[in-house]
Amino acid sequence: MVDTTGVIVEAVQALLALALAPGLIGFIRWMKARLQNRRGAPVWTPYFELRKLLRKETVVSANASWVFHVAPFVVFGSTVVVSLLVPVLVTPLPFNSVADLFAVVYLLLALFIVMLAETGRLPVDNPATHLELTMIHEAMILEYSGPYLALIEWASWLKLLVFLTLAGNLFVPWGLATSLAPAGLAIAAGTTLVKLVVLAVAVAVLETRVAKLRLFRVPELLAVSFVLGLLAVTSSFAMR
């Protein structure tokens, strides 16, 4: 029997993550600017960016295939589904059991390395660059515009929030609700917000103090992450 209340809570968590993702990236940008002695754009700037893109016309090449049209929706939809699997405020929930293996994989330091690589952050990639030869994430979306670009950017910001939430709740699980009581959910919301702010500051400091890796050194960093993840999965089966 499906737990209807649990499904509703998971849906609310996903919507909350969608709403907070632009604010999180805006806070990281603002913090980086302050660390560099610049004023920086307001935290809510990404919300205006999304609104502007959603109102613009989508320009598509005449030679673009159906994959070009479908890709933004697949990227956005798959990221939203992942946000359903991560315990943002409360655990356990109906979809949490599906994500058990994913949680085990990220138990070691592999999580932080993968987070930086998957979200296109320094030292793997520079999210502020506009040079095609030196960027990874931005080069994939050069041909997109309007609502398509909005979906891809929103998915990228949501992915960063999911990784930070997963890191915070795995290594600092205090405050995570274990029931659907309103008081527990309120405390969980507050502690999750604090964890996100702390981790966002850590990402901003890292990106301010660390230079971008040479492109040929990135596979070495990802190999370390793969080995750590493999060890985490192996140890989880060995301890059963």
Count of Cβ atoms closer than 10 Å to residue 110 Cβ: 20
226: which residues sit within 8 A by CB, 6+ positions away? 110
Q: Where are the domains of the chain?
A: 4-238
pLDDT at residue number 31 = 92
Please name the amino acid found at residue 8: I
Q: What is the pLDDT of residue 66?
A: 82
Residue 177 bridge partners (DSSP): 90
Q: What is the pLDDT along the chain (240 residues), one digit of tens a residue?
A: 446 776 777 788 888 889 999 999 999 999 988 888 888 889 999 999 999 999 988 888 888 788 888 888 888 888 888 887 777 777 766 555 555 555 444 444 755 666 565 555 555 565 555 555 455 556 667 778 889 889 988 988 898 898 888 888 877 777 777 777 778 788 888 888 888 999 899 888 887 876 665 666 666 666 766 666 666 666 556 555
User: CA 155, 157, 159, 165 torsion: positive or negative?
Assistant: negative
Q: What is the rounded distance in angstroms from the CA atom of residue 139 to the CA atom of residue 144?
A: 10
Closest C-alpha to 81, from 25, 6, 155, 150: 155
Burial of 66 (0-12, 13-18, 19+ CB in 10 A): exposed
| pLDDT in the model for residue 107 | 47
Where helices occur in the chain by DSSP H, the ranges are: 4-35, 45-55, 66-85, 100-105, 110-118, 137-140, 146-171, 182-209, 218-238
